[in-house]
Chain A
Amino acid sequence: MEPKPIDWEKLASIIETHRTRKWNLIPLLQEVQETFGYIPPESMEPIAEALNMSPAEVQGVVTFYAGFSLKPKGKCVLKVCRGTACHVKGSRSILRFVQNELGLQEGETSEDYQFTLETVACLGACFLAPTMMVNKNYFGRLNPTKVSSVLNQYGKSKEDDGSP
């Protein structure tokens, strides 16, 4: 399956609202990331043009921040915590379990663009360890059964926008 085609008009209108304001690069990128789920690589040149920067400079900023991605992500982005507290509580097996269930390695996206699997250093919810996030929702005190039910919850409802 292809990722959703880019809505060029929408992209252009986002860029327009930030035109010629060089300091707007990060807010502009955030808006693009927010809208499309990633920064389409083809958008770097028009963005650079609008802010009077060189495209390579825009790329430098995009690749510097973990929050920006040049690859399309799945509808549901899973962030499994690999921080110290979660590690102690067995997050390694949680990660393995998720990897097996989804058939994905870290950083990968499923072919149907339903799931993207990522790891993070600490989700800031250590008291719930082991934890993971799916899009903007936290899930804590995980065990394989709970993970399965979370995955099902997101996997079955392909039509919706990723909220349970």
Chain B
Amino acid sequence: MESIFLTINGQKVACLSGDSILIAAEKNSIPIPILCYHPDLKPHGACRLCLVENEKTGRLMASCVTPAAQDMVIQTASPRVLHHRRNIVRLMMAEHPESCIVCSKGNHCELRRIAASLGVGDSGLYPMPNFPSYEQMNPFIIRDLSKCILCGKCIRADHELVVAGAIEYNHRGFKPRPATLYERPLEESICTFCGTCVSICPTGALSVKNTAYVGTPDQETDSICGFCSVGCSLSMGVAGQKVVDVNPSKSRASVNGATLCVRGHFANDYLNSPARLTRPLVRSKDGEGKSIHAPAAWDEALDAVVMKLSAIKREFGAGSVAFIGSSKCSNEENYLFQKIAREIFETPNLVTLSYDTGQALAARIDARTGGMCRVNPLAELEGARVIVVVNADPGRSVPVVDYHIRRAAKKGAALILVNPWKIELNRWAGAWMRPDYSRPSGPMASDFLLALAKGLVADAGYDRGSVEQATDGFDAFYDMISRRNGIAGEAVDAAVRLMKNQKIAFVIGADTLCYPDGAQTADAVANLLILTGGIGAKRSGLFVLLPESNTLGAMDMGMMPDHLPGRVRLDDGGNIGPDMEGFIEGIESGRIRAAYIMGENPARSLPQPDRVAAALKKLDLLVVQDILYTRTAAMAHFILPGAAAAEKAGAFTNLEGRIQMFSPVVQPPGEAKADWEILAQLIWKMGHPEHYQSLEKIRQEIRRLVPMYQGLGSHLQGWIANNPKGGKPAFAMDFPPVSVALDAAHPFIARLSAPRHHLGGGTRTGRSERVRAYGDHGAVEISPDDCRVLGLEVCGKVRLVSEFGKIERSYVQSSRPPKGMAIVPMGENQNDAMGLAGLSGKNRPASFGWTVSRVGIEKI
């Protein structure tokens, strides 16, 4: 692109051809006021506030939509420009209600700021406020469209950034407003309450519904969202040591840009929940001999914890002590925690709750790809021309990933789905293969994926050069795949046509291993990635939709039974600890006598929660370090109050492999402490020579021991590294046939999946006032076919019964699940849905894991 030169306010400036006058001015630090322009949105030219004067022609023009031209002479603040600009603002003000004092947009209102800077007070015009609509029945967003200036930013954000299509201009002349279909309230539309439009709206027309605090925060600090594995950059508004407002961070290098999802935007009010732990608590007896949790001093509590843990280790051996780390805690914390387990207690018993629903899958794929596919920037997903989504509902689990896919699809990327149930992305699907797990013979997801590989090989549609160069064993793979009796069909053929000779981005759901053919599915996806030359390529990658903010980091820090820090796999002969089920069995059998749980609530989040709770009760010693008084904490002998991400410093590794450093926005409540400080004190008290007085000291040690974490540091972002030794991807060859046995008493598949407003089991989101006010969204979705067979009306109540437990729920007839499958929302109702699933999962072949279960359905 060539440079052009023009004059702005008498100053000679340069810009690129194609730049608008506004951009040219911005590049040269010449301010022009704007209202409808946003760097992430297509210029719209609606507000006319950015008008400038062309000195040569005398024309006034909107600088955001006028391209700069060679030798232009522009005035941005001539008396004429200012006169018109003021008039534009006066006209806006004349239409605007006079409610600035109580407006919840407060000092975020750009209209007010611009009016003030232009010296427009009273408009001096006849006030003609319009449109009385005021809407605030939902607990997230207030719409007061009388304050709308029709800049169209909300609509463009809704269409261009989150690609929801919930709102659009309605009518014309004086009447238009951003409207939902049939002008219904937001909660009756397809709006996902992502709040992107709210943050981007320059006026009080769209604002956050706050119950506790109205007004402008005292200060704003950036942080990282502590919910899902996207790790969005947040700007948190603080008033009086409380987080009262959340917006997308203004940082241009963030993964989320101007978007967020309903959890990050609205559910962080859980930070101010009365259930927060504020001081150490110790189990003791009250005057009447009833067991209570009594407050204790930190030193007292920590000394007692150290003493009791050591005593149990001395008496019953190293294997009697167990540690559950957390995908919600930082890299530094998980590093210290595994160090305590491995080095100080010499126990192999360490695991996180995301082992079965994410980490085991990520580790498997890492091994298959030789550690050469660790970094997967979402920008490559958005740039991809072909995207294959397997066993996932990204719109609910990781909404910001979903926006990337939608934007790609809108730009014309081909979307291929291998998913049992219908998701919102189906709207763009070029091919949809629908696995069926309710019948013994499938077809299952892995069958489809193998058929795709067979099709690509048969049509010579794979990347021969890169395959032969980068991998061994292609010939054997070629033979194996060609000889398979692949399933055929229109969808498979269509998908092969779309995938042929393309670089492809693969997206795989975190709980893929919960399906009977999960391991085969993961392997088949890795094979396709290798086959299409996607490793290390642009517009490609393998995106594992991990459940929580630091699922990947916890794994990289070795908070896993079978891996040391840096994804160093322990050999089979080595000292590998049990998975989660083995863990609970260990407690049940009396082998494990003490557990230290950091930042997890297994008595709510795990399958068979009552079995888990009964086991935890059996322990001689249960230490829980957490931020909320959870069901698990209620059973503990010692409760140590930790801190949420917003209250401490640390680093998370998101699903892309991006290491994101954060620093405290507020102090932890009461006497609570950053988790790494608690662990550092414990280590010191246990007589370990290392005294971790600063985060940097932990980071130094990680950088020294974990080569892939050189990017961890004091700057804001870094990336993990691919296998430093240079691994070689290898085709998976072993695809034994899988079949699910029928079970007459439990003929349906229940697919447990969290709705968008909950993260996983909902321990934190369930403590958000807004999410609570949103009400019960726990209805089970049942297909029309099954409704007919079961004699169910359009809606009502059912009982779901599995081998492990039963729940009662309302249900709705829905076209999302296929025949034979019911979608059961997690998180709602104290997460009772987990009662349907069995703890044994991943390691029992051809069975269902934690989020998929076989059930019977009865009408009640």
A57 within 8 Å of B (CB atoms) = yes
Q: A54 touching B166 by the CB < 8 A rule?
A: yes
A44 within 8 Å of B (CB atoms) = yes
Interface string of B154-184 (1 = CB under 8 A from A): 0000010000111111111000000111100
Q: Which 9 A-B residue pairs are closest in the complex by CB-CB distance?
A: A54-B165, A60-B168, A56-B168, A55-B181, A63-B171, A56-B181, A57-B168, A63-B170, A60-B169
Interface string of A71-89 (1 = CB under 8 A from B): 0000000000000000000
A17 within 8 Å of B (CB atoms) = no
Q: A53 touching B171 by the CB < 8 A rule?
A: no
In the bound assembly, the distance between CA atoms of A126 and B38 in angstroms comes to 47
The chain B residue with its CB closest to the CB of A53 is B165
Q: B168 touching A54 by the CB < 8 A rule?
A: yes
Interface string of A49-68 (1 = CB under 8 A from B): 10011111101100110000
Q: A56 touching B180 by the CB < 8 A rule?
A: yes
B59 within 8 Å of A (CB atoms) = no
Q: 5 A-B Cβ contacts within 8 A?
A: A54-B190, A56-B165, A56-B179, A57-B159, A63-B172
Q: A64 touching B169 by the CB < 8 A rule?
A: yes
Q: B167 touching A64 by the CB < 8 A rule?
A: no
B427 within 8 Å of A (CB atoms) = yes
B428 within 8 Å of A (CB atoms) = yes
Contact of B172 among A44, A45, A64 (CB under 8 A): A64
The chain B residue with its CB closest to the CB of A61 is B168
In the bound assembly, the distance between CA atoms of A52 and B189 in angstroms comes to 17
Interface string of A103-121 (1 = CB under 8 A from B): 0000000000000000000
Contact of B171 among A45, A52, A54, A64 (CB under 8 A): A64
B123: min CB distance to chain A, Å: 28
Chain A residues, Cβ within 8 Å of B169? 60, 64
In the bound assembly, the distance between CA atoms of A63 and B182 in angstroms comes to 11
Chain A residues, Cβ within 8 Å of B179? 56, 59-60
Q: A56 touching B166 by the CB < 8 A rule?
A: yes
A41 within 8 Å of B (CB atoms) = yes
A42: min CB distance to chain B, Å: 10
Contact of A52 among B164, B182, B190, B427 (CB under 8 A): B427
Chain B residues, Cβ within 8 Å of A55? 165, 181, 190
Interface string of B178-211 (1 = CB under 8 A from A): 0111100000011000000000000000000000
In the bound assembly, the distance between CA atoms of A45 and B427 in angstroms comes to 13
In the bound assembly, the distance between CA atoms of A63 and B177 in angstroms comes to 11
The chain B residue with its CB closest to the CB of A55 is B181
Contact of B164 among A41, A49, A54 (CB under 8 A): A54
A10: min CB distance to chain B, Å: 22
Q: B165 touching A60 by the CB < 8 A rule?
A: no
Q: A60 touching B170 by the CB < 8 A rule?
A: yes
The chain A residue with its CB closest to the CB of B169 is A60
Chain A residues within 8 Å of B, Cβ to Cβ:
41, 44-45, 49, 52-57, 59-60, 63-64
In the bound assembly, the distance between CA atoms of A44 and B170 in angstroms comes to 14
Most chain-B Cβ atoms within 10 A of its Cβ — which of A49, A53, A54, A55? A54
Most chain-B Cβ atoms within 10 A of its Cβ — which of A56, A60, A63? A56
Chain B residues within 8 Å of A, Cβ to Cβ:
159, 164-172, 179-182, 189-190, 427-428
Chain B residues, Cβ within 8 Å of A54? 159, 164-166, 168, 190
Q: A41 touching B182 by the CB < 8 A rule?
A: yes
In the bound assembly, the distance between CA atoms of A56 and B181 in angstroms comes to 5
In the bound assembly, the distance between CA atoms of A52 and B163 in angstroms comes to 12
Chain A residues, Cβ within 8 Å of B428? 52
In the bound assembly, the distance between CA atoms of A44 and B180 in angstroms comes to 12
Q: B172 touching A57 by the CB < 8 A rule?
A: no
A82: min CB distance to chain B, Å: 16
Chain A residues, Cβ within 8 Å of B168? 54, 56-57, 59-60
Using A41-B182, A44-B181, A52-B427 as known contacts, say yes or no to A59 and B165 having CB atoms under 8 A apart: no
In the bound assembly, the distance between CA atoms of A56 and B188 in angstroms comes to 13
Chain A residues, Cβ within 8 Å of B159? 54, 57
In the bound assembly, the distance between CA atoms of A60 and B165 in angstroms comes to 11
Chain A residues, Cβ within 8 Å of B164? 54
B557: min CB distance to chain A, Å: 43
The chain A residue with its CB closest to the CB of B410 is A52
B484: min CB distance to chain A, Å: 34
A35: min CB distance to chain B, Å: 22
Contact of B167 among A41, A53, A56 (CB under 8 A): A56
In the bound assembly, the distance between CA atoms of A44 and B179 in angstroms comes to 14
Using A52-B428, A53-B165, A54-B164 as known contacts, say yes or no to A59 and B182 having CB atoms under 8 A apart: yes
In the bound assembly, the distance between CA atoms of A54 and B159 in angstroms comes to 9
Chain B residues, Cβ within 8 Å of A60? 168-170, 179
A26: min CB distance to chain B, Å: 15
In the bound assembly, the distance between CA atoms of A54 and B427 in angstroms comes to 10
In the bound assembly, the distance between CA atoms of A58 and B164 in angstroms comes to 14
The chain A residue with its CB closest to the CB of B189 is A56
The chain B residue with its CB closest to the CB of A66 is B172
Chain A residues, Cβ within 8 Å of B172? 63-64
In the bound assembly, the distance between CA atoms of A44 and B189 in angstroms comes to 14
B840: min CB distance to chain A, Å: 42
Besides A56-B181, A59-B168, A59-B179, 14 more A-B contacts (Cβ < 8 Å) are A45-B181, A52-B427, A52-B428, A53-B165, A54-B165, A54-B166, A56-B165, A56-B166, A56-B180, A56-B189, A60-B168, A60-B169, A60-B170, A64-B172
In the bound assembly, the distance between CA atoms of A29 and B159 in angstroms comes to 22
The chain A residue with its CB closest to the CB of B427 is A52
Q: B165 touching A57 by the CB < 8 A rule?
A: yes
B623: min CB distance to chain A, Å: 51
A56: min CB distance to chain B, Å: 4
The chain A residue with its CB closest to the CB of B182 is A41
In the bound assembly, the distance between CA atoms of A63 and B427 in angstroms comes to 24
In the bound assembly, the distance between CA atoms of A56 and B189 in angstroms comes to 9
B286: min CB distance to chain A, Å: 59
Chain A residues, Cβ within 8 Å of B180? 56
The chain B residue with its CB closest to the CB of A44 is B181
In the bound assembly, the distance between CA atoms of A129 and B164 in angstroms comes to 49
Chain B residues, Cβ within 8 Å of A56? 165-168, 179-181, 189
In the bound assembly, the distance between CA atoms of A7 and B172 in angstroms comes to 30
A85: min CB distance to chain B, Å: 23
